[in-house]
Structure 1
Amino acid sequence: MENNWIAIGHIDDIPLRGARCVKTPQGKIAVFRTAENEVFAIEDHCPHKGGPLSQGIVHGKAVTCPLHNWVISLESGKALGADEGAVATIDIRNEAGALSIRLTHQMMAAAE
């Protein structure tokens, strides 16, 4: 399972400072595109109350949860500021615009 890369679409499918949700056997993954054209993938639930991070506002390399305004780092998956908690980050690669993610068992352990 270590090299289980799954194609999820093209970078142009995601608007700048936007996201899309990808359903996998291990849960929903939020894939983000920053204003600088960087892509990140994290679990699609806020560590606070489970809000859908893929529906949040992307700013810099972070996303603000649409439910209670928690700010989550897209790089580390950790809550920023005074809030505590984290979501799993998912390996993502961008090969000439073609995006793929790598699923591992680590994602499930982080959710427990």
Structure 2
Amino acid sequence: MTTKPAGTYYPAGTIDEFLPRIGRVVEIQGKQLAVFLASDGTIFAADNRNPHPKGGPLAEGIVSGHYLYDPLYDWKIDLSTGLVQAPDQGQVQMYSVKVENGTVWIAV
């Protein structure tokens, strides 16, 4: 699993600010993160950098289940692990997320 160990949690907004299946960019401690709300209510946070050699933002992708579909390169990324699915290869840095009293907290 590629989720960073839990460090200090920072508020990223309220749960109502995140739309299901659509990414939102949040900046925490100088890092630009892509935050996704899956249709089952699970929230994922990742570096907003596509692992493709040409790069690009991840927040523009669409979530289905726990997978992110990147519209730039047609890559499928598992949001639980950060791993790009075969036949492509790569990995996205994921961050621990928790929700308390309607606030989304991300560990950076």
Alignment TM-score, normalising by the size of structure 2: 0.86
Percent identity, aligned pairs only? 33
How far does residue 8 in structure 1 lie from its aligned partner after superposition?
0.8
Give the match for residue 3 of structure 2: none
How many aligned residue pairs are there? 102
Calculate the aligned-residue CA RMSD, in Å.
Answer: 1.4
Give the match for residue 107 of structure 1: none
Matched, 1:43 2:47: yes
How far apart, CA to CA, are the structure 2 residues paired with 1:3 and 1:52? 24
| Structure with greater helix percent | 1
Alignment TM-score, normalising by the size of structure 1: 0.83
Give the match for residue 32 of structure 1: 36
Greater than 4 Å deviation, 4+ residue runs: none
Contact 2:35 2:45 in 1 (8 A): yes
Contact 2:10 2:28 in 1 (8 A): no
Matched, 1:88 2:93: yes
- Structure 1 unaligned segments of length 5 or more: list them: 104-112
Select between 5-14 and 24-33 the one with higher mean Cα deviation.
24-33
Contact 1:5 1:100 in 2 (8 A): yes
How far apart, CA to CA, are the structure 1 residues paired with 2:18 and 2:63? 12
- Structure 2 unaligned segments of length 5 or more: list them: 1-5
How far does residue 26 in structure 1 lie from its aligned partner after superposition?
4.5
How far apart, CA to CA, are the structure 2 residues paired with 1:18 and 1:55? 7
Matched, 1:99 2:104: yes
Per the alignment, do residues 40 and 60 of structure 1 end up closer, same or farther by CA in structure 2, a change over 3 Å counting? same
